[in-house]
Amino acid sequence: MKKAKIYIPSKTAMQSGRGKQKDWILEFETKDTSINPLMGWEASSDTLEEVILKFSSKDKAIEYAEKNNISFKVIEPKKKEFVIKSYADNFLKN
């Protein structure tokens, strides 16, 4: 049985906005990875490693996985807390 994980990717250090964090990703877990002795690259005989599916909602990703007999785990995104403060708060002593 194929195994996959469903998650929202985190933003990279090069991104300041959260615009690309809307899509849910279904990514297959690889079965066997090995190191190519000649080049030192990571190699695998599992071609599902390269398949990354994007969905507009978590429910659609789960529905797809259940329909295609894929065992999956859902990784919920962490909630971000925003502290709203003014520029002057940087100079005030607590």
**Sign of the CA dihedral running 26, 31, 35, 37:** negative
- Would you kindly state where each structural domain of the chain is located, as residue ranges? 2-9+21-31+43-90
Cα–Cα distance list, 3 to 26, 35, 69, 78 (Å): 10, 22, 9, 23
Residue 3: count other Cβ atoms within 10 Å of its Cβ. Answer: 14
Q: Are 20 and 11 in contact (CB under 8 A)?
A: yes
Print pLDDT tens along the chain (94 aa). Answer: 689 999 998 877 776 676 667 899 999 987 777 888 888 887 777 778 788 999 999 999 999 999 999 999 999 988 878 888 888 888 887 6
Please provide the size of the chain in residues: 94
Record the pTM. Answer: 0.69
User: Does 2-9+21-31+43-90 carry CATH code 1.10.10.60?
Assistant: no
